[in-house]
Amino acid sequence: MTSRRFEGRVALVTGGAAGIGRAVVDRLVREGARVAVWDINTAALDDCRRMHGEDRTLCQQVDVADEAAVSAACAAAAKHFGRLDILVNGAGIVGPNGPFWETTPDAWDRVIRVNLRSVFLVSRAAMGMLIANGWGRVVNIASVTANEGPQNLSAYAASKAAVVALTKSMGKDLATTGVVVNAIAPALIATDLLKQLSPEYLAAALARIPMGRAGTLDEAASLVCWLCSEECSFSTGAVYDLSGGRGLS
């Protein structure tokens, strides 16, 4: 690991106050970046601000599924930092856990809005700055469920499968601009999102991981930050497995 490989870079991380997003923010700041941290949770944003200070982070409460909110927050971040180099689309929710026919349209729409629409909206708002730089990195957080279509998680799996397809299309659209776009596909990562899963589903999911454990936040942040770095230069539109072997079956 190059200890200051993000010196001079500015990143935007959605869902950045908790879970994988927070681990990524912590790593980026530690390695020299300044970071706009977007989240809906004000208490978690306050904690992030206290840890890193206002000189290294701009903590913004943003509904990432709302076009006007995204545009305003992106403009504020650009004004504050003067540039943008890196985007990590990490905001996400698990949503309903049960048979698809028991999922209400409102619950379905909420998952799609947070997990998929936000990736489109935030990427669209940020892209002008990245293209203007002639260099940029975008990392979308997908899921191993995108390939599996697991039982009782229809909305979540569908949203993450769409993020995979969107990542591939974005990578091709931007292939000659200097902006590369990739995704990671985690299996279970030890975050608070696991609390939204039923004990039965959690036990079954762990049983499907050949390594026999959930991934760690450090492992997720390490992969994301490599994809955000200059070291990742000839890979775009790709999806990187982070599943302890589960995604390879």
**So where are the chain's domains?**
10-242
Which of the following CATH numbers is that of domain 10-242: 3.40.50.620, 3.40.50.720, 3.30.2390.10, 1.10.150.120? 3.40.50.720
Residue 230, Cβ density class (10 Å: 0-12 exposed, 13-18 middle, ≥19 buried): exposed
| Terminal CA-CA length for the chain | 30
Dist. CA 196–CA 17, nearest whole Å: 18
pLDDT score at 196: 67
- How far is C-alpha 76 from the geometric centre of its chain's CA atoms? 20
Dist. CA 116–CA 129, nearest whole Å: 21
Active-site annotation holder among 6, 81, 156, 240: 156
Q: Which amino acid type is present at position 90?
A: G
Q: Which amino acid type is present at position 19?
A: G
pTM of the model: 0.95
156 is catalytic: yes
The whole-number mean pLDDT for each consecutive block of 10 residues of the chain, a chain of 249 residues, reads 86 97 98 98 97 96 98 98 98 93 98 98 98 98 93 95 98 98 94 75 86 94 98 98 84
Q: Bridge partners of 215?
A: 189
